[in-house]
Amino acid sequence: MWPGRVNRIQQLFRSRVLRSRLWSGICLCVIAALMASLSPLSQAAAPELKAKSAILIDAETGQVLYEKDPDVRLAPASVTKVMTMLLAMEAADTGKVSYDDMVVTSTAASEIGGSQIWLMEGEEMKFEDMLKAVAIVSANDAAFALSEHIAGTEPDFVRLMNEKAKELDMKNTHFQNSDGLPASDHYSSARDIAIMSRELITKHPKILEWTSTWTDWLQRLHPRAKQKESFLRNTNELVIKYPGADGLKTGMTNEAGFCLSATAKKNDTRLIGVVMALSSNDERLDDTIKLLNYGFREFDRVVLAAHGESVGSVRIPNGRQEMVVAGVDKDYTVLVDKGKMDLITTEFVPDERKAPISKGDRVGQVIVSLDNKEIARVNVVSTEDVPRAGFFTVLSRGIRDFFRGLFRRAIPQHEISL
């Protein structure tokens, strides 16, 4: 009798233990699911792209938000014309040329081939109209004619392109022409394209008036022109398919595949996305939209410091004023993964400057990090002139600090806080 009871008790105990373990497992799964649902949006997986190489950056700061093999050297096709447009805008904005200059089409320009507006040898057109043709329909003949007008010859213009690439620290770029037609040793990278695109749209925002235009017309003044006007339709469909998109440059050849340097703005944030070596225009658009959506959805803009506001004080041991009010040289913002703003850390690194110091001189930097990764550097500057202190003042401070250290009393230190 007793063995039977013992068996029943053991069976009942095992049953209860199994049920307890089962409920514990279910509870753990529920808790895990709840935690996942409450995790910030920034934990969402980065977009999966078909592009061989891609990058997404903040146009204001250059901060990289996403990258996929961004330094691979690839044929850029007509995205090359970002540099052509940059040099053309620089020439116009510095007064080297005028938007009203009449550009004469050379024989070489009229025979260039590829995408074009069919300029005729000897045809004259305003510099602005040719630049518009490059920006909207990626006209190779107009790009070639502009290069000759600016530099005298296209080879000389290409030399300027490569000099500018070096100036911008575009480490994986070399140009052989102004239009992007296939050529040996003509290459760029997604990162470099983002760099020159940022330079173009931040320094010369007027270009966006043309790159955002979907359709337009150009007057043709050549007496043998078959039409008095040429119809222009943008090669970049993103400007009508993505809210806020207003540029920038498409490219396509058999060698390069489909490429795009795109830019879009929402509220106070402008992004630049570059995709390269895709198989079709649809893939190019899909990847670009994924990139832009990711950037606008997963990041918040945080103001680190504003120009004109105090960020604390810096110690200048030999200055007439020992503690100097510090500011920053410009407005500083950064894009941060949603939900991670409280995880930002800062570290002030002084330049150990000695007086005399002029107002606006840098006295240090604040290194801004997120998840132990540097995301920005903020220049800290003096807000006033700091003359050199007299000998006896410096001596007395040294004696004071000696005795303060001896008795473990605080010595004046930098006090910087963003």
pLDDT digits (tens, 9 = 90+) for 233-263: 999 999 999 999 999 999 999 999 999 999 9
Q: Given this model, what pLDDT does residue 415 score?
A: 85
Average pLDDT over residues 148-167: 98
353-377, pLDDT tens digit by residue?
Answer: 889 999 999 999 999 999 888 999 9
- Residue 409: its pLDDT value, please? 76
CB of 334 closer than 8 Å to CB of 376: yes
How far is C-alpha 17 from the chain's CA centre? Answer: 58
Report residue 289 CA to chain centroid gap. 16
The mean per-residue pLDDT over the stretch 16-21 comes to 47
Burial letters for 137-148: b for 16+ Cβ neighbours within 10 Å, e otherwise? bbbbbbbbbbbb
Q: Grade residue 8 by pLDDT with cuts at 50, 70 and 90.
A: low
Q: Is 91 helix (H, G, I), strand (E, B) or coil?
A: helix
Distance CA 130, CA 342 (A): 50
What per-residue confidence (pLDDT) applies to 403? 80
Q: What percentage of the chain carries pLDDT values higher than 90?
A: 73
Contact (Cβ atoms closer than 8 angstroms) between residue 363 and residue 326: yes
Which are the catalytic amino acids?
78, 81, 138
Q: What is the pLDDT of residue 1?
A: 42
| Under 8 Å between Cβ of 125 and 118 | no
Task: Tell me phi and psi for residue 200, to 5 degrees.
Answer: -65, -50
Check if the beta carbon of residue 257 is closer than 8 Å to that of residue 278: yes
> What is the predicted pLDDT for the residue at 42?
41
pLDDT reading at 15 higher than 60: no
User: Packing angle between helix 81-93 and helix 127-137, nearest 10 degrees?
Assistant: 150
pLDDT tens-digit map of 49-93: 999 999 999 999 999 999 999 999 999 999 999 999 999 999 999
